[in-house]
Every structure is written in C-alpha cells, then in structure tokens.
Amino acid sequence: MVVANWKMNGTLVEARALASAVREKLRRARGVEVVLCPPFTALAAVAEVLAGSSIGLGAQNCHWEASGAYTGEVSPAMLAELGCRLVILGHSERRQHLGEGDALINRKLHAAVAHGLTPLLCVGETAEERRQGLTFHVVEGQLRGGLAGASRDGIVRCMLAYEPVWAIGTGVNATPAQGAEVHGSLRGILSELASKEVAQAVRILYGGSVKPENVAPLLEEPEIDGALVGGASLQADTFIEIVRKSAPRAGSAAKE
C-alpha cells in the first residue's frame, strides 16, 4: 500500500489537478493499493476526481466525537460521509506542533474504527531518542498507548506507519535494515496484544523521506508492507514512480 499525505498543501484548483494527474497516469496499479490524503478543504473535490477509480481517499486527522461543540474540528462521521476509508492518526507533526499525546490519539482511533474508517496509526522516535538507544521503548509506548482498549477485531482493522521523526522532511531515510528491525518489533507487540495471525494481517508502512530512489530497497524487506509518502506525493510524476517501484517485482506490476 502507498499512502500520499499532502499535509497542509493544495488549493482546490491544485488538489483537483494533482488528483487528476495521479488518476490519469495510474489507471491500474496491480499489486499496490493507493490512497490520497488531501487537506480537509479538498476532500470533496478529490473524492469527485477519484470516483470510479481504484484509488482510495483518506484524511489526515479526525476528532473523537461524531458531532458536537468542537469548533474547527472534523468528525469521523463527516469523513465517512465523504467517502474516506482511511485516516492518519498520531503523525509526529501533530504530536510535536499540536501537543497530541497517546491518550488523545487513542480516543480518535476508537472513534475512527466505530465509524468504519481504517486508522493509520503513526509511531516514531526523534533523532535524540535514537541516539540514546530509546527507539524501541518510544515506539512501543506509542503503539500500546494508541491501541489501548482495542479489541482483537479492532486491532486487525488498523494499520501502522513507522515514521522516524528524524527522517521526515529531512531527505535522510531509515535504512532498510533499520526499518525492518522496528517493523519486526512492532509486529511482535501486535502478537502480544492480539495474536500472531493479527500481527501478520496488520499492514505496517514505512514513512520518512520516501522517494523513488529508496522505496524499492525498503519494500524488499518482508516486514515493510508499504509506504506513507509526504513531500514526494505533491508531484504526480514522482508519486507515480514511487507507486510503480512499490509493486511486486518493481516496475513490472504497475503500469498505465
């Protein structure tokens, strides 16, 4: 699976153009599921562009209530109504800049599941935490906190993304070995929280400076099930190249 996180980028005109270009140039992506996550303001417009295609629609965040006096927020019910099938939760930028902690993210995760959305729960350590040898401690805490109280059936409906904070927007990605090591650790925790079968069923994506040059080696690792793409998803040609190189036997299974 390849998920495009457009972050806070794109007017309606720009969002329609980008989504249209991706749809036109990626008419079929055999072996790869693709989801676009534009800003809230562009969700309806992008949904129209993607209608009838195999490309899915996702959101970058949601509130934990279906409705209420929460000025400026968007509920999971609203996202589901627009046709979203996935919602990114716990992204490091929201943890860092908006003060979101595990307890808050956990409430959002339960709300997303209740409204039929697939939560894409993000975990990852900072450069300083990695330097101190705290990587596995940090991601385990974020995973357990985000999934707290989730049933086996709830966990199997989630996806994870390992996004080392030090790799986001820096141009420096984790090596395939580093990614696989953390992904394997996360899968081990899922086995403990649910079962080995659930742990194998839950897809764990890698994110953090994903680009055409590094995506294939990353996804050759059996533990890495796909990519969460940030800045590189804002250029249609670059994103399409990432999708094609993410397909089994890179370059042969995804085509126009």
Which is catalytic among the residues 100, 125, 163, 221? 163
51 backbone dihedrals φ, ψ, rounded to 5°: -55, 130
91 is catalytic: yes
Reduced to 3 states, what is the DSSP secondary structure of residue 89? strand
C-alpha–C-alpha distance, residues 219 and 205, integer Å: 9
183 is catalytic: no
Q: Are β-strands 254-255 and 28-29 bridged in parallel, bridged antiparallel, or unpaired? A: antiparallel
Which is catalytic among the residues 63, 91, 115, 183? 91
DSSP H helix total and E strand total for the chain = 12, 10
Sort 74 into a burial class: Cβ within 10 Å, 0-12 / 13-18 / 19+. middle
The CA distances from residue 123 to 49, 163, 165, in Å, are: 31, 6, 9
**HEC assignment per residue over 118-155:** EEEEEECCCHHHHHCCCHHHHHHHHHHHHHCCCCHHHH
Task: Report the 10 Å Cβ neighbour count for 148.
Answer: 15
> Both tokens of residue 151?
């049933």
Residues marked as catalytic: 91, 163
